[in-house]
Amino acid sequence: MEISTLATYHCLAFVWYFFVAYSITHVKTEEPPSEVFLYGGQWKYLTVLNLVLQAVFYGVSFLADVLRLIKKLRCAKCVISSRDLLFSVLAFPVSTFVSISFWTLYTYNRELVYPKSLDGVIPLWLNHAMHTAVFPFALLEILALPHRYPAKKKGLILLGFVAFLYISWVLWIYSVTGEWVYPLFALFSPSGLAAFFAGSLAIIVSCYNFGEFLNRMIWGQSKFSS
């Protein structure tokens, strides 16, 4: 894909994710929010954090494209390295995990992750923008250009560290408010919750491996953007 075309695509994707993140953080409801909602606002939900993550990623990608267009190759090389690390370790695995886990749980029992009462608060298009479109966007990014993946150990350590930070944030919110961020968690015993978190970590690691596999199958081992 031509650099100018990539720049246009990345710019539009950035604007889209910024718009979606803005829209969900400004949703109004007539119901008084619970304490768990008030504590940390919407920045406790992985879906919302993923929207911000994707906006940052596409912003960095657009910057890399612009630097290549104006021939600032030394600066571009550094930004491209950051772009590839961000995509491989976080942007692809998290967006894939969000889409798969949400729709799996939604199909099983939507009240555990997305109560029916939210239908009157969050428009249908916004729900799909947050939980459905994120996966095709991630796939399109892999098809659009190759990304250099870090060494497997380094990539998984970084991903695991971020997962640990998010789990710690969820547990901290529960310790302060006495309520779980997701109603699903209330169904588990402490050991069951630990097993659920471990299973979720295994799934997101699989998402990381899946992205690396697709990147290698499409672009091979040696072809990387520069």
pLDDT single digits (tens) 62-112:
999 999 988 887 888 999 999 999 999 999 999 999 999 999 999 999 888
Q: Are 186 and 137 in contact (CB under 8 A)?
A: no
pLDDT 10s digits, 33-49: 555 566 777 889 999 99
Q: What is the mean pLDDT of residues 19-37?
A: 72
Q: Is the pLDDT of residue 23 over 80?
A: yes
Q: What is the pLDDT of residue 225?
A: 42
Please give the residue that has the higher pLDDT: either 2 or 107.
107
Q: What are phi and psi of 176, to 5 degrees?
A: -85, -45
Q: What is the mean pLDDT of the chain?
A: 90
Q: What is the pLDDT of residue 226?
A: 37
- Cβ-Cβ contacts under 8 Å for 9 (sequence gap 6 or more): 1, 144
CB atoms within 10 A of CB 27: 12
Entry pTM: 0.91
Distance between CA 63 and CA 81 in Å, rounded? 12
pLDDT 10s digits, 182-212: 889 999 999 999 999 999 999 999 999 999 9
Element (H, E) at 160: helix 152-177
Distance between CA 96 and CA 207 in Å, rounded? 6
Please give the residue that has the higher pLDDT: either 33 or 158.
158
Give the DSSP letter of residue 182: S
